[in-house]
Amino acid sequence: MGVAKIPEREIINAVSLMNNDVEYNTVRKIINDYHDEIYRNLKNNYDVSSKLGVYKIKALPDTVRYNPVLETTFIKPAQNVVYFAPSRGVRNLTNQ
């Protein structure tokens, strides 16, 4: 059956959308739809770790990071690291 190809472009676009305050539900759907495949299929190509349901993926252009205290996911440009918290809602907390 083979391994499903991850729509990396969609993930990158989702991050870009969040950074531009566009369509949070689209971003949430993309993250929810693909988080299992992100971990399974990108772990050979990226430095990927999973801890308490948070997926860290290096080598993507922005940062999506989960804050367990606030129980939110937030995004800010940084260090080519992406954190996905797929079961949570997505909120942009960087417009401060």
- CA distances to 20, 29, 52, 84 from 14, rounded to whole Å, are 10, 9, 22, 12
Structure confidence at residue 56 (pLDDT): 43
Average pLDDT, the chain: 45
* Per-domain residue ranges of the chain: 8-84
Host H or E run for residue 15: helix 8-19
Closest residue by Cα to residue 7 from 30, 23, 36: 30
Structure confidence at residue 4 (pLDDT): 43
pTM score, whole prediction: 0.24
3-7, 35-39, 67-71 — most confident range: 35-39
Structure confidence at residue 10 (pLDDT): 52
The two structure tokens encoding residue 18: 């969040």
pLDDT digits (tens, 9 = 90+) for 8-49: 555 555 554 444 444 445 555 655 665 555 555 444 444 444
